[in-house]
Copies of this chain bind each other. A is one copy, B any other.
Amino acid sequence: MNVLIVEDEKGLALEIDEFLSHEGFTIEHAHTKNVASEKIFVNNYDFILLDLTLPDGDGFDLLQMLKGLKDRDDAIIILTARGAVDDKVHGLEQGADDYLAKPFSLNELLARMHAITRRKHKLESNDITVKEFRINIQNRTVHYNLERINLTKKEFEIFNYLVLNKNRVISRTNLTEHVWGDVLEINSDSNFVDVHVKNLRKKLSQFEPIEWFETVRSIGYRVNI
């Protein structure tokens, strides 16, 4: 999953980056409101971590702008130094998904992010299952019944994203955006998505046939039920 960190304090931004990268997220940064708004226009994000006090203006504007866009469902988590209850209420009213007051623990942030994922996809726990396969989004593990399947980072991200969006066709562009990050930087006449999908399928199909993991020719992939 991809994350945009909108934060001008570079030390904090880097700290979050390091931590979340380690947890398997793809990170992008914006140190100002302007850079952030350009990035938001150009990409879709799974999460936007938004500091409210930015050098070139108030973060609330970004929030409002984002809420004005159609067909987006980036989750927004507000980060701010202000302990002000007003900001919190105001932020959540404007449509933010959660709120963290600085200083906060990185594990707390991660826990909130997982909670949002569960809410967004209407999951009851950290486990998602497809047939006998079980994905745990918190531990980033996949099991077949009791047996652990070792997936690489990219394989896990692809599987996770397709399963979270089950029964929908996910185009290669969409998959690329969420697993690899910034679409514009990517050489698209490459077949790296196909290769990872192939390797993933190989690992999964050791356990049982995976006819539910379809290719939708000329569009992308779809995981059914």
B-binding residues in A (CB < 8 A): 15, 18-19, 22-24, 38, 40-44, 69-72, 101, 103-108, 111-112, 115, 139-141, 152-153, 168-169, 171-174, 183-184, 188, 217-219
A104 to B39, CA, bound (A): 9
A168 contacts across to B, CB distance below 8 A: 139
Q: Answer whether A105 and B70 are a contact pair too, CB < 8 Å, given A15-B184, A23-B171, A168-B139.
A: no
Give Cα distance in the complex from A69 to B141, angstroms: 25
Shortest Cβ distance from A154 into B: residue: B218
Contact present for B22 and A111 (CB under 8 Å)? no
| Closest B residue, CB atoms, query A23 | B171
Q: Given contacts A22-B173, A139-B169, A219-B140, are A38 and B107 in contact (CB under 8 A)?
A: no
CA distance A141 to B218 in the complex (A): 13
- A-B contacts, 14 listed (Cβ < 8 Å): A19-B173, A22-B171, A22-B172, A24-B219, A38-B103, A41-B104, A42-B103, A42-B105, A43-B105, A44-B107, A69-B108, A70-B108, A70-B112, A106-B183
Known: A41-B105, A106-B183, A169-B139. A71 touches B111 (CB 8 A): yes
Contact pick for A103, options B41, B106, B169, CB 8 Å: B41
B-chain residues with CB within 8 Å of residue A22 when the two chains form the complex? 171-173, 218-219
In the assembled complex, the CB of A108 is this many whole angstroms from the nearest CB of chain B, namely: 6
Taking CB atoms, residues of chain B closer than 8 Å to A184 are 15
- Which 4 residue pairs spanning A and B have beta carbons closest together? A71-B111, A153-B218, A70-B111, A42-B103
Q: In the complex, A115→B69 CA distance in Å?
A: 12
Bound-state Cα–Cα, A15 to B189, Å: 11
Nearest CB in chain B: distance from A46 CB, A: 13
Q: How distant is the Cα of A152 from the Cα of B216 in the complex, in angstroms?
A: 9
Chain B residues with CB under 8 Å of A172's CB are 22
- Chain B residues with CB under 8 Å of A153's CB are 217-218
Additional A-B contact list (15), CB under 8 Å, known A18-B188, A44-B107 = A19-B173, A22-B171, A22-B218, A22-B219, A23-B171, A24-B218, A40-B105, A41-B108, A42-B104, A44-B105, A106-B183, A140-B219, A141-B169, A153-B217, A153-B218
